[in-house]
Structure 1
Amino acid sequence: MTLFNTSVTWNNELISRYDLAGPRYTSYPTAPQFSDQFSMSDMHAAIERSNATANPLSLYFHIPFCDTLCFYCGCNKIVTHHKERAMPYLQRLDREMQMQAAWFDTQRQVEQLHWGGGTPTFISDAEMTWLMAATRKHFSLLDDDSGEYSVEIHPGRVSASTMGHLRDLGFNRVSMGVQDFDAKVQKAVNRYNTPEDVRSLVQALRAQQYHSISMDLIYGLPLQTRASFTETLKQVIDLSPDRLSLFNYAHLPHLFKSQALIKADQLPSAQQKLDILQSSIEQLQQAGYVYVGMDHFAKPQDSLVKAQQAGKLQRNFQGYSTHGHCDLLSFGVSSISAFGDVYLQNSKQLDDYYQRIDQQQPAFVRGFTLSKEDLLRQRVINQLICHFHLDFQPIQEEFGIAPTEYFANELAELQPMVEDGLISIDDKGIQVHNTGRLLIRRICMVFDAYLNQGTMIRYSKVI
């Protein structure tokens, strides 16, 4: 039996010892390292390198508008009932695509496309048609339903007919934020979707032949208990989503103003959160879901699980991904592109984003060019966080180093984890054991050259 088919081992003592705050490693280096000194010449040089690879493309569109405010949310969002705000924003997305299409080789096929937010279904069906037509005008989308084209939805705020319209436009995957079914919890965070709403929508999505349905839940919300969350999860499992993400709520009202609307004295304690997580992991595994890593679970036949078993799983800004070979181009306020050896992040402020696009300037305000050292550590972290092992030989061949010598300090720092049974290390590489899977972020932090450099950055706990 492989590690991936084995139930996760829960060890309270080890978790309490290693449960520090740290990055989620949707990128390395992480976003706080991006610099406003990144220049146009840096960007164009990176685009030339990207075009030379002829890698397929992944497109991300950030649609920031929401009808209602979910108190827990830390996303870049604009809460408004004014639907007329959508089209001016979509027109800027079109202009941004036009700029990038002039620089990138647009014959490269778009294997992956994602609308995130915000709430992408804030825009009307007609506006959805308009945006997809604009995208097809600038880029080479697939027409045979073989791409991974996904959209994030609020299941309590979208109709089956709109989902049918999105399916007709080429979308074939759905990620819905369920969060919690308990009525008291929903009221405490101002997020409403009943089990009946979600069940009806899921039935419609299956009838519309969506390839994959993913659901997001959050543990650690106010008034949650182990018993109440067990009931929510029971209802979710009964809906049989293909993938499921279980996110840890980090209460940071100084960073996210809406979180100040949550009553801190209603939040579960740190130990109660761990109890909820432990129970949830056991419940999901008993239901047949595979623990992919961190907060992701999937059915055994899902492409995430197959990619992990084949050694091809990757990680990007949406989490675990099967399309790590694609260059990611992102559009809209706050979105982050990743192609070749660079990251680019657009302005987080809507007015500034508009001004840049209207002046026919790129929307990015920060960027980062990865050095050979960054690429090395990126590879190490990606291998560990996706596959729970690191083979030294490929690293030695690709980067021309002797890993045991080059990472002597890091391997020494890992020794307590060896002694605690989280990992083993030999001349061939590093193997994460079952007891270490839940703590993989903490293991990866050892190879992060940017931690502990004196900059105060607030991260969530690794568990």
Structure 2
Amino acid sequence: MQLSEQDLLLIDKYNRPGPRYTSYPPANHFKEYADPAPLLRSAAESDRPLSLYFHLPFCETLCWFCGCHMIPTLDRSKATDYLDLLEQELELFAKHLRPGREAVQLHFGGGTPNFFGPEQIDRLAAMIDRHFNFTADAEKSVELDPRRLSRAHVEAFARMGVSRASFGVQDSNPEVQKVIHRVQPQSMNVEAMQMLRDNGFESVNLDLIYGLPLQTPESFDRTLDEVLELKPDRFAIFNYAHVPWMRPAQKLLERAGLPDAKTKLELLKLCIERLTAEGYVYIGMDHFALPDDELVKAQREHSLQRNFQGYSTRAGVEICGFGISSISQGPNGYRQNEKDIESYRARLAQGELPITKGYESTEEDKLRADVIMRLMCDLSLDFKAFGERWGIDFREHFAEALSQLEGPASDGLIEWTAAGLAVTERGRLFIRNLAMCFDAYLEPAATGRYSRTV
């Protein structure tokens, strides 16, 4: 696939570090809190439904591309110890939670949730059910690693009502897999998919990463051939985030050479063309789904959401995170747990919730978060609707942002419409750059470093 001369010029122009906007402001703006009471107010006062997230951090081995907060270990006793700590955290949190609130979502991330054995998964389910009541239509999902997955794992998650799963393939090329330290033959993916379908999982998402060493459009085309054979309901196609200052193991990938921005954009365009030709709908930024998927319906109805778990269909929820490094999001801000497991343990031993950082959103933060959310989810903005919802004159309030968007408009990334603006097909490739125009904290440059947008 060949990029046009204009595409190449746009790469040079727009390829700069920027947030992914899973929160606004981004997590590097969170502040230390000696007393987390203000961050817990919404748990006690809000009547929003709950979305529960459990961070299960252990992996048997480290994938060198990984940007997740994880702990490599082969010691299975660490899982039992971690469940003891989670149980303490749940007991403490229950004291702050307003009675009667129901949960509509449950997600297990990692790490590798299937590092935990079936009996440990059953124990975790019992712990959760002791403290939370779920609605009948609650969405329960889990991230899995096919290399460590057994039928007993799948059956254990199914017993607690989990019916959605995602697992990483990243790339099916054996040479790429060796370089990134994640060898995963296609036979493992086929077996994992079959086990999930056999156990009633309604939706399966596959993760791919473009921008890894040795990847070419020709080799990645063959990867797409193999993953399409699995017929997943969704795809998440992530731009590899090279952040070695945060994840030192990523330096190992530099030895094999990382693709340049031009090649990365070729890979993304290949994914878009192949998947849409197969009937998948390009949701935005990094997600694709089959036409009857609820993500597609939510985007059509302008109710799609974006948070730390990616795209979601459940609006108006309060996210409650448990485990090390987990982030919670309420109507008035964010809170984050201790990242280090020993610090997490020490706080719990003192009878304290292990919250270390957070952020209390201002009304302006909430407004800008709403604009960025709708831009990234709807791929358009209706200025009048925002003005009515927030009591502002949109063009006047965001005069500086709209001025910054004149350049992207002249480059064909957005179109001005009667209602406001719409992102073009080319503009989707640079959606993070467009969102950055509405970020009040980005210029002058804030502390913290981001991955590049392309």
Deviation string 1:184-237 (CA, Å, 9 cap, x unpaired) is 111111112211111122122112110100010111112222211111111101
Deviation at 1:263, TM superposition (A): 4.0
**Equivalence for 2:302:** 311
Give the whole-Å Cα distance in 2 for the aligned partners of 1:124 and 1:55: 33
Unaligned runs of 5+ in 1: 1-9
Give the whole-Å Cα distance in 1 for the aligned partners of 2:185 and 2:449: 33
Equivalent of residue 419 in structure 1, options 398, 410, 416: 410
**Equivalence for 1:3:** none
Give the whole-Å Cα distance in 2 for the aligned partners of 1:391 and 1:235: 40
Give the whole-Å Cα distance in 1 for the aligned partners of 2:288 and 2:13: 25
What SS does the aligned partner of 1:312 have?
coil
Of 297-306 and 425-434, the range deviating more from structure 2? 425-434
Equivalent of residue 41 in structure 1, options 34, 37, 40: 37
Q: CA 1:302/1:38 → structure 2, altered by over 3 Å: closer, same or farther?
A: farther
Deviation at 1:106, TM superposition (A): 4.4
What SS does the aligned partner of 1:216 have?
strand
The letter for the 1-side match of 2:374 is Q
Equivalent of residue 119 in structure 2, options 110, 126, 130: 126
Q: Is the 8 A contact 1:316 1:324 kept in 2?
A: no
What SS does the aligned partner of 2:148 have?
coil
Q: Is the 8 A contact 1:226 1:272 kept in 2?
A: yes
Q: Is the 8 A contact 2:52 2:105 kept in 1?
A: yes
The letter for the 2-side match of 1:207 is D
Q: CA 1:345/1:412 → structure 2, altered by over 3 Å: closer, same or farther?
A: same
Q: CA 1:225/1:424 → structure 2, altered by over 3 Å: closer, same or farther?
A: closer
Q: CA 1:75/1:35 → structure 2, altered by over 3 Å: closer, same or farther?
A: same
Deviation string 1:297-331 (CA, Å, 9 cap, x unpaired) is 11111111111011110000011111132110000
**Equivalence for 1:82:** 75
Deviation string 1:14-36 (CA, Å, 9 cap, x unpaired) is 34422322110001111011000
Q: CA 1:85/1:185 → structure 2, altered by over 3 Å: closer, same or farther?
A: same
Matched, 1:438 2:429: yes
Give the whole-Å Cα distance in 2 for the aligned partners of 1:43 and 1:413: 34
RMSD of aligned residue pairs (Cα, Å): 1.6
Deviating beyond 4 angstroms after TM superposition, the runs of 4 or more aligned structure 1 residues are: none
Note the 1:349-364 alignment, pairs <5 A. Answer: 349-364=340-355
Of 409-418 and 313-322, the range deviating more from structure 2? 409-418
Note the 1:243-322 alignment, pairs <5 A. Answer: 243-322=234-313
Deviation at 1:38, TM superposition (A): 6.5
- What is the TM-score with the length of structure 2 in the denominator? 0.95
The count of residues paired between Structure 1 and Structure 2 equals 449
Deviation at 1:338, TM superposition (A): 0.3
What SS does the aligned partner of 1:368 have?
strand
Give the whole-Å Cα distance in 2 for the aligned partners of 1:317 and 1:106: 26
Q: Is the 8 A contact 2:243 2:450 kept in 1?
A: no
Matched, 1:239 2:230: yes
Give the whole-Å Cα distance in 2 for the aligned partners of 1:177 and 1:44: 34
Deviation string 1:108-140 (CA, Å, 9 cap, x unpaired) is 221110010000111111110001100000111
Q: Is the 8 A contact 1:181 1:194 kept in 2?
A: yes
Q: Is the 8 A contact 1:38 1:367 kept in 2?
A: no
Of 31-40 and 106-115, the range deviating more from structure 2? 31-40
**Equivalence for 1:28:** 24
What SS does the aligned partner of 1:203 have?
helix
Equivalent of residue 151 in structure 2, options 157, 160, 165: 160
Q: Is the 8 A contact 1:109 1:140 kept in 2?
A: yes
Equivalent of residue 391 in structure 1, options 372, 382, 391: 382
Equivalent of residue 187 in structure 2, options 196, 202, 206: 196
Note the 1:134-145 alignment, pairs <5 A. Answer: 134-142=127-135, 144=136
**Equivalence for 2:319:** 328
**Equivalence for 1:185:** 176
The letter for the 1-side match of 2:423 is V
Deviation string 1:399-444 (CA, Å, 9 cap, x unpaired) is 2211111111111111122222222335632222222122111111
The letter for the 2-side match of 1:33 is H
Give the whole-Å Cα distance in 2 for the aligned partners of 1:192 and 1:151: 21
Give the whole-Å Cα distance in 2 for the aligned partners of 1:208 and 1:121: 16
- What is the TM-score with the length of structure 1 in the denominator? 0.93
Deviation at 1:258, TM superposition (A): 1.7
Q: Is the 8 A contact 1:315 1:324 kept in 2?
A: no
Give the whole-Å Cα distance in 2 for the aligned partners of 1:339 and 1:422: 33
Q: Is the 8 A contact 1:106 1:140 kept in 2?
A: no
Q: Is the 8 A contact 2:39 2:359 kept in 1?
A: no
Of 19-28 and 259-268, the range deviating more from structure 2? 259-268
The letter for the 1-side match of 2:331 is G
Q: Is the 8 A contact 2:8 2:262 kept in 1?
A: no
Note the 1:56-71 alignment, pairs <5 A. Answer: 56-71=49-64
Equivalent of residue 336 in structure 2, options 342, 345, 348: 345
**Equivalence for 2:106:** 113
Q: Is the 8 A contact 2:305 2:311 kept in 1?
A: yes
Unaligned runs of 5+ in 2: 1-5
